[in-house]
Structure 1
Amino acid sequence: MNYTKIKNKDGSIKFDVVLKGEEFRKYFDEVVAYKIGEVEVKGFRKGHTPKDIAIAYVDKDKAFTEAAEKAVRISLKKITVENNLTLVTPPEVKLLEDKENLHYEVTVVALPEVILGDFKKDVALSNEIFYKELENISVADEEIQKAVEWLINSRKEFKEEAKKNETILTDEMAQKIGDFKTAHDLKESIKEGIEAEKKIREADKNRARIIDTLISKTLFDLPDMLINKTMENLKNDLKNSLESGKIDYSEYIKKNYESEKKLEESLKKQAEKELRAHLVLEAVAKELDIKVEDNEIEEEMNKIFIKQPEVARKNINLQQLKDFSYGTIKNRKIFKALENIKI
């Protein structure tokens, strides 16, 4: 097999592939041999018809098509391995006129090669900011009181009492709300909850900074076809979300984007950022040798499965759940490793 490689302007890759006649003949002969074995001729048992008789019953055009499909599939797999390509869309194959050989062109869209820059120092600086912010986290009395007021007003049995006592939390109220002996215990729990939320927000901010750092340190081209496909997926997700919320798509665009073109421009930017983030994190996982074990996936799947209502469990796609669990664990490990990088 011989082939040439051409990188297109849109980021896709075209291969011009030639399998010499004798090489392709092997595929063709294999298909014909199989079909001969499947021929049924009156007077002979299936698979026992003499070859010189059975051959007349084999459709040569169909045999050629099947042989070509097999040859393309196997040769393309070899090409992708040799070029270290991960295809993200089905290949577009075109057979070319050639009386002696199997000659075809194939256009593929593959994930770009991502070579990480020197990111550890900048990530460490981001982590330093993060840990300082964690140390400075505090919860003001006003925040606790606001949460208390919301909690009291959200429960019918407390509304009348709240009006009389100006939303003063009593021990009796605390005991009715949960496993608390006093109002002080409940307030401490609220304080811990607010503090935990603030820590999560700071962690999210740090992760966003880290991703921006990784993207800025890693230059690579994204195929237009990949960006457009991701954009279309985002657009479809938006439409489904609006539909489930009974919100008119056209009205939503007018209110938020003025035109569908502006919506698509926004989604395209989002798609590109999401793709770059995903690819750099995958590169980091490889760089830091992040691995996910089968028992970890199984444990994560069980956690998610148990939380689902009995009715919903019957409709769960286990492969999708497995893929989701794998991705969740992998990202968790990637960020944990990144957040542990220090100067």
Structure 2
Amino acid sequence: MIRKIIHIDMDAFYASVEQLDFPELKGKPIAVGGGGDRGVVAAASYEARKFGVRSAMSGVLARKNCPELIFVKPRFQRYKEISQQIRTIFYEYTDYVEPLSLDEAFLDVTQNKMGNPSATLIAEEIRNKIWNQTQLTASAGISINKFLAKIASDFNKPNGQKTIKPAEILPFLESLEIKKFFGIGKKTADKMYHLGIFTGSDLKSKSQDFLEKHFGRSGLDYYHIVRGIHNSPVRPNRTIKSIGTERTFEENLSSEIFILEKLEYIVEDLSFRLKKQNVAGKTITLKIKYSDFVQQTRSHTVPYYLSDKELLLDIARNLLFQSKLKESVRLIGVSVSNLNSDQKKKPIAVQLRFDF
């Protein structure tokens, strides 16, 4: 008695929209974002990715990697418009749609409006409809839970899909490189490498106690997911409570000039995320972690909703210098809460279970 979950992920969405609307950009390496000394890449076309250009990369480094790179200013209203078209297609199949952002979503099609027993065929239909209506391509992952569907959607990108059937789950996870597990970032992967964990099979060989000892609460999650266990349901109308960005520095920072420089990059990324989710907030929180691992948080609430980079940066700067920094700084994070999303609607968390 298991679910049928699809993860739809648009291919290089923002960059693809720009190439769609401006045909002269087709086939060229483009980056959505800022190309100046302080600019950050928000999204990159596949032509740019071949040169190592990635989201969250500084504009300076992106240009160094790809001298031919063309920077385009983001047009969030346009991205939202197309996202709404795509979301309308999702609702033709199921009401159990959990958007993660403008360009990706989970769908629970265990029991769907088309009465189609094949999640694989539904995913193919959805991708074809997206192409016919928008001339944009999407990739899809299909499996029994959100974790597996998310991993699967990356396998045949761009413009492809992959299904992980119940009988294939354990062999698939055991052979998977640990860095490809959704939720395991570079730092965690490096830590696992030092512990002799390189594949899912290596991870599965470790006991629950071992994983909890080395990874805390996340250890139990790793113990479960490598066994294909992930029971989080698709949540329609998911309410976002806060959005934040943080960076851990390679070297601890004590110079105010360097800290302010990093803070600007962090806030620019945060502003992009807020606009990507089409939300703004009133409460700005600064998190500081010192070299001795002592952590501080400082918050400020304003009477209006914010998402603009310069306004956020002004408040973040004031919070940073609200009191003297104690030690050198190893991490800075900025988050926005008290959002203008609808707080009255409660998330629906219905979990349907039928044969795959």
TM-score computed with the length of structure 2 as normaliser: 0.23
Larger C-alpha radius of gyration, 1 or 2? 1
Identify, as 1 or 2, the structure richer in strand. 2
